[in-house]
């Protein structure tokens, strides 16, 4: 057995076993440290053997604390261990690797590094949304994915129309495209009519699935845990069901952000800054956070610009020096900061008169 000599943080002194997990698609490697004896044990388990995983973590001395290194598919293991471990944490993989320094890169070393940081009280924690937030996140991501697929299909339809020098229907939906093809299909090429009918089938399916997703979103945001916050966000110009639900799903607990700038950095709407000596310049957006939030806020910003005079004035003032597209991004950033203030203060959006 190896001997562990790192100090135990006072807040973690009550735990009898510490486990760090390095997770991959097929296998997971566990490093378990007993703080009393200083013994270090390693175990490699196959991800498909769920019963073995439950038995192994259930056999650890209690109370136990388990830290899982964050990867995009960690959730199944989190749900499996949540009833077993006395405390479950999600470790920030990038920060853990940075704190590891020049240690070699193996599964054992990665799990040991997570466990080492955990037992010393230096583990960087990532946000692990609770089950109800995760369910909402699944449906908002599905709805946004379908919306992007729908937009690509519409672009394809427009492209086929342009090849025949035909403007097509003004409001382009599956039903509108079907009516157009029945009435004006003879003016188009035969092969293009066939392709457009295929596009009609795709649009019909996507629109039906989008409606189903929106029904699920309505059901979820009506739950007491979401309802108050959703009603606050829904008062903002340009914000509707999909935007408010996406922000709720991806942000989770607004209270975990100490200020407005923190939530902007989390979403990735903050511009990068390059500074050296006396030279300082701004760069592109960091895009460090969940892309769905940036996408829906960008769409919502254009709607708010068109519908709210005060927001339109803000956009115009910024556009004079930065251009219309960058100004719209700035409006999206302001909308996110307003959302944070609204939720923290439990106040709806207050409209101001445009000068």
The span from the CA of 245 to the CA of 233, in Å, is 9
Amino acid 351: pLDDT: 73
Give exposure, 181-208, as e/b (b: 16+ Cβ within 10 Å).
beeebeebeeeebebbeebbebbeebbe
Domain boundaries, the chain: 2-119, 131-221, 226-345
The span from the CA of 79 to the CA of 76, in Å, is 5
First to last CA, the chain: 74
Nearest to 237 by CA among 353, 333, 350: 350
Nearest to 56 by CA among 40, 44, 65: 44
Find out whether 304 and 328 touch, Cβ atoms under 8 Å: no
Q: Give the 3-state secondary structure of residue 168.
A: coil
Nearest to 217 by CA among 294, 293, 143: 143
Amino acid 239: pLDDT: 95
pLDDT beneath 50, residues of the chain: 1-10, 354-355
Amino acid 5: pLDDT: 38
Find out whether 313 and 355 touch, Cβ atoms under 8 Å: yes
Fold of 2-119: Nucleotidyltransferase; domain 5 (3.30.420)
Identify the residue whose tokens are 């499996």.
80
The span from the CA of 235 to the CA of 351, in Å, is 10
- The Cα diameter of the chain in Å comes to 84
Amino acid 270: pLDDT: 86
Question: Strand (E) positions, the chain?
Answer: 2-3, 17-23, 27-33, 39-46, 64-69, 87-91, 271-276, 279-285
Structure tokens at 171: 């409001």
Sort strands 39-46 and 27-33 into parallel, antiparallel or unpaired. antiparallel
Amino acid 212: pLDDT: 97
Find out whether 118 and 20 touch, Cβ atoms under 8 Å: yes
Amino acid 278: pLDDT: 62
**pLDDT tens for each residue of 12-24:** 678 889 999 999 9
**pLDDT tens for each residue of 87-138:** 999 999 888 888 887 667 889 999 999 999 998 889 999 999 999 999 999 9
Amino acid 104: pLDDT: 78
Identify the residue whose tokens are 């293009």.
192
């Amino acid at each position: 057995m190896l001997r562990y000599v790192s100090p135990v943080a006072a807040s973690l002194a009550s735990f009898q076993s510490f486990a760090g997990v390095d997770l991959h698609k097929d296998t997971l490697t566990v490093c378990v440290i007993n703080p009393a004896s200083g013994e270090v044990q390693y175990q490699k388990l196959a991800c498909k053997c769920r019963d073995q995983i439950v038995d192994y973590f259930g056999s650890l001395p209690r109370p136990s604390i388990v830290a899982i290194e964050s990867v995009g598919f960690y959730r199944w293991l989190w749900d499996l261990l949540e009833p077993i471990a006395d405390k479950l944490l999600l470790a920030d993989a990038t920060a853990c690797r940075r704190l590891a320094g020049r240690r070699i890169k193996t599964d054992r070393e990665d799990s040991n590094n997570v466990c080492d940081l955990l037992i010393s009280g230096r583990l960087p924690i990532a946000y692990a949304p609770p089950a109800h937030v995760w369910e909402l996140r699944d449906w908002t991501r599905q709805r946004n994915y379908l919306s992007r697929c729908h937009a690509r299909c519409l672009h394809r339809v427009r492209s086929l129309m342009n090849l025949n020098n035909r403007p097509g229907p003004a409001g382009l939906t599956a039903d509108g495209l079907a009516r157009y093809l029945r009435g004006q299909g003879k003016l188009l090429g035969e092969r293009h009519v066939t392709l457009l009918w295929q596009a009609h089938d795709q649009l019909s399916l996507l629109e039906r699935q989008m409606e189903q997703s929106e029904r699920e979103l309505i059901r979820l945001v009506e739950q007491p845990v979401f309802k108050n916050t959703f009603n606050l966000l829904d008062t903002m110009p340009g914000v509707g069901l999909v935007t408010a639900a996406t922000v709720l799903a991806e942000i989770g607990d607004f209270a975990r952000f100490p200020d407005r700038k923190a939530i902007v950095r989390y979403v990735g709407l903050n511009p990068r800054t390059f500074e050296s000596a006396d030279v300082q310049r701004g760069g592109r957006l960091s895009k460090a956070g969940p892309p769905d939030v940036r996408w829906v806020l960008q769409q919502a910003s254009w709607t708010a610009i068109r519908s709210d005079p005060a927001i339109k004035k803000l956009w115009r003032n910024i556009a004079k020096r930065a251009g219309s597209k960058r100004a719209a991004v700035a409006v999206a950033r302001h909308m996110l900061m307003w959302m944070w203030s609204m939720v923290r203060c439990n106040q709806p959006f207050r409209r101001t008169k445009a000068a």
